[in-house]
Amino acid sequence: MSFTVICFDCDSTLSKIEGIDELAKRAGLGNAMSALTEAAMNGSVPLEAVYAKRLALIKPSCADLNWLADVYIAEQIDDIHEVFSRLIAQDKQLHIISGGLRPAILPLAKALGVPAEHVHAVDIYFNQDGSYHDYEQHSPLARNGGKATVVKALAQRGKVVMIGDGITDMEAKQAGAYTIGFGGVVQREAVKQSADVYVTTPSLLGVLAHLQ
């Protein structure tokens, strides 16, 4: 199956971490945040029910986001550069669609050759001293169905595939995308049942055969 637009989730897909959980651990709130994240990714609670709550508790600063950017890169998934290099050589349009925080994802995207305008994530705002102020509350990616909204716009450019580990990634099917569930970091039964195809290899190379 041939795709023009190839979209990847970030957390537990391009990187082995969940960014919001790492920020929570850094703030001493790890266990509570992990439970909320898992509930949202499994689809047992709406994403919008936990998104604002997590950030209000963590209050990540600009320095925290810079730190997280480094962790994303340090914990990137196996064989990621080989996969992206091959897809770029084939002139595929590569996008990252994430409910994560955009400033922390941008450096990883740059390292992979993905332009900043192809990074769809939730922006975050800081006070002049770098402390947390607010997040992009109207972003579709801070609620369920948001990835379908982004994919719907991208579908005008050609056939779209969405690759990710969470139930929010599988919602891209609502916009006509083919979905590949990625269980190389975390395996979720709800995602396995919903995806058009499910991959459990720890390397991102496992998805490549389904993109040719």
Active site residues: 9, 11
Q: How far are the Cα atoms of 21, 25, 122 from residue 57, in angstroms, in the given order?
A: 12, 12, 17
d(CA 118, CA 94): 7
As beta bridge partners, residue 126 has 132
The residue among 58, 49, 57, 47 whose CA lies nearest residue 23 is 58
d(CA 83, CA 60): 32
Tokens of 2: 């041939």
- The answer to whether 175 touches 151, Cβ cutoff 8 Å, is yes
d(CA 55, CA 33): 10
DSSP 77: P
d(CA 13, CA 81): 13
Q: β-pairing, 93-101 with 132-135?
A: unpaired
